[in-house]
Structure 1
Amino acid sequence: MSEVNQSCVWEGHIFSNGWGSATGGVAPVIEPSTGEILSTIGVGLPEDVDLAATSAAEAQQSWASMPFDQRAAILREAARLLKDRAAEINEWNVRECGSTPAKAEWELHATYEQLLMAAAMPMQPDGALYPSAMPGRLNICRHVPVGVVGVIAPWNFPILLAMRSVAPALAVGNAVILKPDLQSAVSGGLLLASVFEDAGLPSGVLHVIPGGPVTGDALVRHPKVGMISFTGSTAVGRSIGQICGQMLKKVALELGGNNAIVVLDDADVDAAASSGAWGAFLHQGQICMQTGRHLVHRSLVNEYAQKLAERAKKLLVGDPHKDQVHLGPLINQKQRDRIDNIVQKSIASGATLLTGGKYTNLFYEPTVLAGVTKDMPAFTDEIFGPVAPITVFDNDDEAVALVNTSDYGLAAAVHTRSMSRGLALSSRIRAGMVHVNDQTVNNEFHIPFGGMGSSGNGGRFGGPANFHEFTQTQWVSALDKPIIYPF
């Protein structure tokens, strides 16, 4: 693998009408496993956002009018280049974000699929004919671009969660300003900008401006940005939704989750524990769909807890760039301290620590807590770390009530030997995604993805939902001869 700290065109820069310096200067790229400075990135400020929005608004019109096959060809070329540069992008994902190589490779392939799906969008029907009560009137309802779409992407799956908005937004004729998180700006922003630049995307159609809250706020509030697609915490999402509501601006919010796996009394315990471990510990639990609550029938709870703890104890934690491990580092100290505080407070309230509960630097051991009740922080809070809290229930009604206690409603899973029972239970669970005999962390590029309640505003990413998410509907009617009205 190449050395990631070699001189690159993006080093210390932002991407806005080519590579250039940012008003906010530069920031270091820090490897969470070691604390080593890998490189520098440009930091955008409101002035950079303003220049980008003006440029994007101008470039968008010619991009939208480009023949659909030419737009599709650019997106296909971007997909090819993404695959061609997989080694470089994956290495940055490992070192910058603490991903394991397997997670990085999965994310890159999923992003590749997102690009191919987006490349097929321009050739799809972009409207429909509707009948009219007026003789001779032609009614067309069609999807038209929003204009400029602002995308604010997180650090946990920075490539995929940026591209699932960037690619379809571009495909239907929008220009895009992407603000990646400063902790993942290389893999989740600057390398993607390089891919699109080399794929032939016209200048000004895509801007990548890393930055913090001030930069994001400027993007949300800019009058030339017609839509915001945000993936991140519920607290920040509420603020963005409020601003966009006041400005009558379209907004897509994919927010947090406190997702439950429900293990019914007839479940295959080995399979359920496997799903529970994968859902709880994948990428150190730093996933919005993480299995944060394990709800287990009383008759199986001891067996499930034992099997889950056994799986957790076998997982290796360490530097994914240097060693073959299952879990890498948490993204920063603030996240680590928050996770540990939830664990320690829950133990102090009566939860039983079966394994884990310790850390070294940013490496947190996979943790299993038994005897968790619904008033403990391990039950009520989104953990976003490698912690599996187990709560007991006695019947299906109680299980559903426990799932729906949370204000979040992103994902859930149900384990049972009866598919019909699982499907019946799924209809009572308030979540945007429910998986029977699987775990909560699922994504397929062509299926609408999103949550309910505090997990989002009802918007969806993926497949046909993308047409509605990144466009506006326009009604056009036409008559061959004008109507003569009474006055």
Structure 2
Amino acid sequence: MALLDPTNWRSLRGGAAEAVEPATGEVLAGFTLAATADVERATVAAAGAQRAWARAPYAERAAVLRRAGDLIREHEPEIGEWIIREGGSIRGKADFETRTAAEECYEAAALAHRPLGQVLPSAAPRLSYTTRVPAGVVGVISPFNAPLVLAVRSVAPALALGNAVVLKPDPRTAVCGGHALAAVLAEAGLPEGLLHVLPGGADVGRALVEDPRVRVVSFTGSTAAGRGVGELAARHLKRTHLELGGNSAFLVLEDADLDAAMSTAAWASFFHQGQVCMTAGRHLVHASLYDEYVERLAAKADSLAVGDPYREQVHLGPVIDRGQLERIDALVRSSAAAGVRIAAGGRHRDLFYRPTVLADAGAGYGADSVGESAAYGQEVFGPVAPVRAFHTLDEAVALAGDSDYGLALGIVTRDTARALDLADRIPTGLLHINDQTVNDEPIAPFGGLADSGTGSRFGGDANLDAFTETRWTTVRATPAAYPF
């Protein structure tokens, strides 16, 4: 039996929309967008349902999340097909999303029975302790690039910890990033009113952040949009978790094994067409290996198949839409005009952009430069690997740290102790030695620094801080006496 029926959204008021397959332009389904009026309706219902859910036995909440994980696995072929067709993902990436989404639910279920607080010493004759209490209604705004995972990683732990959730998925992946999760949780036995899915535009996002019943906002998306969400939430004194963009460095030291490193390097920049916040946006390679590295990475890029991931066996699918394609191509063309050499790729057919390697990527880059190498200095969010040489470790540190972002760092070397010492000099939220920058696990804390986020973390115990409040409680046997 099919799990997903997007027509269930007919009660929303934002007008008709279509789920479109970027590989072909085919309309996969019709659904209804949310309007700003839907936000108030959803948060009122969520606030009402949340109180009983917070008082429910932890085992009941955990059971719903475990069942949701089982259902994602059971319906993996159907959900995965939507991720492939609606999101432009290759099959392996869709498999990763469904597998990880199930694990997110299982990990969330475990949160429901974690210790709730701690007993504190007190100078007064009283019992003093802390408890974690649900935040209340959590607003989640999720993006298109890993639509199921980047929704469930906030929705599942928030629900497990006794909150209600209003989720606004990106309308471009509203089915696999919103409706799929709602359908799974409903079938898993989640009580009515606890999860509301409102696919909509920026106006719906603003209304969600501003709504007085929403106490915590979890946003994943671009730095520009996240800055606006953070500013708006601050005006309303709301706790906000921002997981934003990146321009992560991938360092290749002079002792690296290039035979082993090529797969890692290509995956770092070309996985899911480079539409990942952790993508390696700057390959920094020791000068002694630089020419060979560029040649081999370009050959690897040229060998990769690009096409329709639903109907063909390919390595890369389409980028999400025409606007994204034009931005990627403009950054590559601008870089070439600034002196960068296109060693591979740099061309496209429809929404299929070839994996691209840019040599001498630092050309023209710098604060005083007129012709900035745009693809090196900015987050491209496309299958583009800019490569630049360094001569000393101090230069590598300076280049890796010369970014407004601070999300992930990859280092390839035979000397792991040296890599750890080097990483201590480069501020990032995530570090991977002898691996590439695109890594994520449900039990691991995830988040970035500076323009990559507010330092908030998702995953494992970090979810306790993200989706609960800490209450201090004291208890005396008799009323306290004071000087007056």
Normalising by the smaller structure, the TM-score range is: over 0.9
1:478 and 2:468 matched: no
1:95 and 2:90 matched: no
Q: Distance in 2 between matches of 1:251 and 1:312?
A: 39
1:69 and 2:66 matched: no
Amino acid at match of 2:417: S
1:181 and 2:175 matched: no
Q: Distance in 2 between matches of 1:229 and 1:363?
A: 31
Identify the residue that residue 12 of structure 1 maps to in structure 2: 7
Quote the offset at 1:271 in angstroms. Answer: 2.3
1:53 and 2:43 matched: yes
Residue of structure 1 aligned with 2:277, choices 272, 276, 288: 288
Identify the residue that residue 202 of structure 2 maps to in structure 1: 213
Identify the residue that residue 384 of structure 2 maps to in structure 1: 387
**Could you tell me whether the CA contact under 8 Å between 2:182 and 2:195 is conserved in 1?**
yes
Matches within 5 A, 1:43-442: 43-135=33-125, 137-373=126-362, 374=365, 375-442=372-439
Quote the offset at 1:9 in angstroms. Answer: 6.8
Q: Distance in 2 between matches of 1:127 and 1:48?
A: 36
**Could you tell me whether the CA contact under 8 Å between 1:142 and 1:475 is conserved in 2?**
yes
Q: Distance in 1 between matches of 2:467 and 2:131?
A: 13
Q: Distance in 2 between matches of 1:166 and 1:194?
A: 13
Amino acid at match of 2:209: V
Q: Distance in 1 between matches of 2:130 and 2:152?
A: 28
TM-score for the superposition, normalised by structure 2? 0.97
Quote the offset at 1:112 in angstroms. Answer: 0.7
**Could you tell me whether the CA contact under 8 Å between 1:237 and 1:253 is conserved in 2?**
yes
4+ residue segments displaced more than 6 Å: none
1:454 and 2:451 matched: yes
Q: Distance in 2 between matches of 1:271 and 1:340?
A: 30
Q: Distance in 1 between matches of 2:456 and 2:217?
A: 12
Q: In structure 2, the residue corresponding to 1:382 is in which secondary structure?
A: coil
Identify the residue that residue 369 of structure 2 maps to in structure 1: none
Q: Distance in 1 between matches of 2:114 and 2:361?
A: 50
**Could you tell me whether the CA contact under 8 Å between 1:346 and 1:376 is conserved in 2?**
yes
Quote the offset at 1:485 in angstroms. Answer: 1.3
Residue of structure 1 aligned with 2:22, choices 22, 25, 32: 32
**Could you tell me whether the CA contact under 8 Å between 2:4 and 2:180 is conserved in 1?**
no
Q: Distance in 2 between matches of 1:271 and 1:152?
A: 38
Stretches of structure 1 that go unaligned for 5 or more consecutive residues are 15-19
Identity of aligned residues (%): 51
Quote the offset at 1:104 in angstroms. Answer: 0.1
Q: Distance in 1 between matches of 2:81 and 2:304?
A: 22
Q: Distance in 2 between matches of 1:270 and 1:398?
A: 25
Q: Distance in 1 between matches of 2:466 and 2:12?
A: 31
Residue of structure 2 aligned with 1:465, choices 444, 457, 462: 462
**Could you tell me whether the CA contact under 8 Å between 2:342 and 2:358 is conserved in 1?**
yes
Amino acid at match of 1:365: R
Q: In structure 1, the residue corresponding to 2:7 is in which secondary structure?
A: coil
Quote the offset at 1:25 in angstroms. Answer: 2.1
TM-score for the superposition, normalised by structure 1? 0.96
Amino acid at match of 2:467: F
Quote the offset at 1:272 in angstroms. Answer: 2.4
**Could you tell me whether the CA contact under 8 Å between 1:13 and 1:22 is conserved in 2?**
no
CA deviation profile, 1:323-378 (whole Å, cap 9, x unmatched): 00000000000000000011111111111111110000000001111011134111
Identify the residue that residue 368 of structure 2 maps to in structure 1: none
Q: In structure 2, the residue corresponding to 1:300 is in which secondary structure?
A: helix
Q: In structure 2, the residue corresponding to 1:226 is in which secondary structure?
A: strand
Identify the residue that residue 17 of structure 1 maps to in structure 2: none
Q: Distance in 2 between matches of 1:266 and 1:191?
A: 46
Amino acid at match of 1:259: S
Q: Distance in 2 between matches of 1:79 and 1:405?
A: 41
Amino acid at match of 1:123: H
